[in-house]
Structure 1
Amino acid sequence: MPEKVLDKALSGSVVLRNERAPDSHLPSAVLLMGPTASGKSRIALEIAGQFPVEIVSVDSAQVYRHMNIGTAKPGRDILARTPHHLIDLIDPVEQYSAAQFRRDVLNVMQDITGRGKIPLLAGGTMLYFQALLDGLSVLPEADNRLRATIESKAVISGWPALHKKLAALDIESAARIKPTDSQRIQRALEVCMLTGRPMSEILKAPRNAELPFRLVKLALLPADRGQLHQRIAQRFENMLQEGLIDEVSLLRQQFDLNPELPSMRCVGYRQTWLYLEKKINLEALRDKGIVATRQLAKRQLTWLRSIMRRYEVTALDCLADDVHHQVRVFLHAANIGDGAAQ
């Protein structure tokens, strides 16, 4: 029997609800969440063609300019017809945080509602959705000079050694961060050094997450995980056919990249980097890329289930033949604009 994602623990969420709420005087915004290969982008485009919405990307990989194939970014023709917000923000050598996303997305949402439209936030970066919904702890901004110092120490001693140093300063953060996770080790050490306090202690502080929007939350989940895996395999194969290897090769020529940068740690790019370094062959690139994407989808589903336990979210089976119709029915019931006649 297929593995079920729409399980009993979520049965209270898997319904079509009327999302009118006491905060109905606030402008509406739609959150369209789901794992990789669940069809979010296609459904978002259909919604944009039938409802007065503007699409806002919630994807930590699509913020990078020049990274198009491996991030499944909409093509130029689609973007010309249906502009997307919060894509192509930075170069691959730069970094973008959840705090930056929250600030930027709230500004974009205000702009969209100011034009009389409804923000449609679509994507699979659950950290970004959580940052929007829960708010963020007051952590210091990145300090490039301090980060450079930490990185230079890592070159000499290695990240596992810095992980041990982190454990002495912030045992809770160290316990949940792998000794090889350079990005998170660096951030936790940076926060400790800038504030004089463990990051885990700061994260426990109360957050202010009140939003000036009526959020209508929709999740696309696969009833059959096996079918989602088939989609993932085909998706990655398509990326290879479309020129993912050439894209990464060109990025390496254009920018001073290294495999530890967040951009090159994205699924597909990390594996293609190994191939270009001649550490794996094409078959291994394909296999590792598919496995990594499946692991990403599993993490996204775990995180999404956590969000669904804490917020009112309507879940639909992304594999259902009539999922597009169900989405339209849901949005009409939620009083989202004057959508097209059914």
Structure 2
Amino acid sequence: MSKGEGRREPSLLVICGPTATGKTAVAAALAAEVGGEIVAADSRTIYRGMDIGTAKPPPHLRAAVPHHLLDVADPTEVFTVAQYQRLAVAAITDILRRGRLPLLVGGTGLYIRAVVDGLQIPRVPPDWAFRRQAEAEEQAAPGALYARLQQLDPLAAQRIHPHNLRRIIRALEVIAATGRPISEQQRARPGPWRVLVVGLWMPRPILYRRIDRRVDEQLAQGLVAEVEGLLARGVPPEAPAMQGLGYKEIVPYLQGRSSLAAAVAALKRNTRRFARRQESWFRRDPRIRWIDVGDAAPQAVAAAIRAMLAVNGTSARQGGCLERMHVVPAEAEE
């Protein structure tokens, strides 16, 4: 990208938003236009062999545009935010060194914050005994762990959804190990980049239709066989990777504890809930410039973002607005 007189274009572009809003296709279209490379910010696509259920970028997109931080961990591993932060910062630094534009793309808000804000991640290793005990406590008294977190670290409790048991337990684990609130230890040290953060949004009816359609497509692509293969490889159902959408719903079906219809209904329902939680998370960040993409084609959304890149007013001060697009719907494009 050429730089105009006195213009300071972003050196890092973030594309975020709820699941199924088209981030993958939009980012690929934009990266192809501007000479960019994509750094995935998704806590599920990091796992190898988990392609369909995570809606990982398809091979043709990965061949057309360089992608980073896909398939970097085995599903049996625990992959931490600190690990992600280190790899993502290294990838962004390398992309910039080669004179290209890094696009940080995904829906895992904590991953994005860890990179953009330079969160200082507590170096506390997993305590599996603590986690098992915490899970048992939660089963005996649902909501007890979140109530405890509200008492011990109110700020962290504000940032964590009451149903996000994994993050609640992690926060309590850090508090137990260090004697200090995790919110005190996650101090921000923003990176050296000029950042433009763009959020993709669409009305709920459109989003829900897209979610339902994607789930149906995943089933047709072989989601059940993918989950079955992971279990056959020895990936335990309780592994963190298997707790993601598309896997935790199919496992009961494969174990004979649910019908396929019930599993599919649960997956669609849980994905809608997840999308609402993602939107709530991102809405708290005033830096995000939101685009109402509706049913717009990825190329049209990419063009709108490229126009943002070309304007000198792309700082955090301009966030929080909702820009509506009047473009050709994806279905109408040839």
Give SS of 1:204's match.
Answer: helix
Counterpart for residue 86 of structure 1: 69
Whether 1:304 and 2:279 are equivalent positions in the alignment is no
Q: Per the alignment, do residues 173 and 288 of structure 1 end up closer, same or farther by CA in structure 2, a change over 3 Å counting?
A: farther
Given that residues 166 and 189 in structure 1 are in contact (C-alpha distance below 8 angstroms), is that contact kept between their aligned partners in structure 2? no
Q: Where does the alignment leave 5 or more consecutive residues of structure 2 unmatched?
A: 315-334
Q: After TM superposition, give the deviation of residue 221 of structure 1 in Å.
A: 0.8
Give SS of 2:192's match.
Answer: coil
Q: Per the alignment, do residues 149 and 31 of structure 1 end up closer, same or farther by CA in structure 2, a change over 3 Å counting?
A: same
Q: After TM superposition, give the deviation of residue 99 of structure 1 in Å.
A: 2.3
- Per-residue CA deviations over 1:39-64 (Å, capped at 9, x if unaligned) read 11111111121102111101111011
Q: Per the alignment, do residues 121 and 151 of structure 1 end up closer, same or farther by CA in structure 2, a change over 3 Å counting?
A: closer
- Identity between Structure 1 and Structure 2 (%): 34
Counterpart for residue 198 of structure 2: 218
Counterpart for residue 9 of structure 1: none
1:281 to 259, 263, 285: 259
Counterpart for residue 322 of structure 2: none
For 1:244, the aligned partner's letter is L
Counterpart for residue 237 of structure 1: 216
Structure 2 CA distance for aligned equivalents of residues 178 and 305 of structure 1:
14
Q: Per the alignment, do residues 330 and 178 of structure 1 end up closer, same or farther by CA in structure 2, a change over 3 Å counting?
A: closer
Structure 2 CA distance for aligned equivalents of residues 332 and 164 of structure 1:
49
Counterpart for residue 3 of structure 1: none
Structure 2 CA distance for aligned equivalents of residues 109 and 216 of structure 1:
14
Give SS of 2:248's match.
Answer: helix
Structure 1 CA distance for aligned equivalents of residues 99 and 197 of structure 2:
20
Aligned CA RMSD, in angstroms, stands at: 3.2
Structure 2 CA distance for aligned equivalents of residues 331 and 56 of structure 1:
18
Give SS of 1:59's match.
Answer: coil
Q: Per the alignment, do residues 263 and 117 of structure 1 end up closer, same or farther by CA in structure 2, a change over 3 Å counting?
A: same
Structure 2 CA distance for aligned equivalents of residues 276 and 319 of structure 1:
36
Structure 1 CA distance for aligned equivalents of residues 193 and 175 of structure 2:
34
2:232 to 245, 248, 253: 253
Structure 1 CA distance for aligned equivalents of residues 58 and 279 of structure 2:
26
Give SS of 1:269's match.
Answer: coil
Given that residues 160 and 179 in structure 1 are in contact (C-alpha distance below 8 angstroms), is that contact kept between their aligned partners in structure 2? no
Counterpart for residue 325 of structure 1: 303
Q: After TM superposition, give the deviation of residue 301 of structure 1 in Å.
A: 0.7
Structure 2 CA distance for aligned equivalents of residues 213 and 101 of structure 1:
18
Counterpart for residue 183 of structure 2: 203
Q: Per the alignment, do residues 246 and 205 of structure 1 end up closer, same or farther by CA in structure 2, a change over 3 Å counting?
A: closer
Whether 1:272 and 2:255 are equivalent positions in the alignment is no
**Where in structure 2 are the equivalents of 1:179-190 lying within 5 Å?**
183-184=166-167, 186-190=169-173
Q: After TM superposition, give the deviation of residue 285 of structure 1 in Å.
A: 1.2
Structure 2 CA distance for aligned equivalents of residues 169 and 76 of structure 1:
42
The normalised TM-score by structure 2 is 0.80
Given that residues 17 and 201 in structure 2 are in contact (C-alpha distance below 8 angstroms), is that contact kept between their aligned partners in structure 1? yes
Given that residues 137 and 202 in structure 1 are in contact (C-alpha distance below 8 angstroms), is that contact kept between their aligned partners in structure 2? no
Structure 2 CA distance for aligned equivalents of residues 38 and 97 of structure 1:
26
Q: Per the alignment, do residues 71 and 164 of structure 1 end up closer, same or farther by CA in structure 2, a change over 3 Å counting?
A: closer
**Where in structure 2 are the equivalents of 1:59-74 lying within 5 Å?**
59-74=42-57
Q: Per the alignment, do residues 180 and 203 of structure 1 end up closer, same or farther by CA in structure 2, a change over 3 Å counting?
A: closer
Counterpart for residue 194 of structure 1: 177
Give SS of 2:249's match.
Answer: helix
Structure 1 CA distance for aligned equivalents of residues 123 and 51 of structure 2:
31
For 1:271, the aligned partner's letter is E
Q: After TM superposition, give the deviation of residue 77 of structure 1 in Å.
A: 3.3
**Where in structure 2 are the equivalents of 1:95-114 lying within 5 Å?**
95-114=78-97
Structure 1 CA distance for aligned equivalents of residues 264 and 132 of structure 2:
33
Whether 1:227 and 2:206 are equivalent positions in the alignment is yes
Q: Per the alignment, do residues 23 and 208 of structure 1 end up closer, same or farther by CA in structure 2, a change over 3 Å counting?
A: farther
- Per-residue CA deviations over 1:176-200 (Å, capped at 9, x if unaligned) read 48998663454244323432x14xx
- Per-residue CA deviations over 1:274-298 (Å, capped at 9, x if unaligned) read 2112221111111111111111110
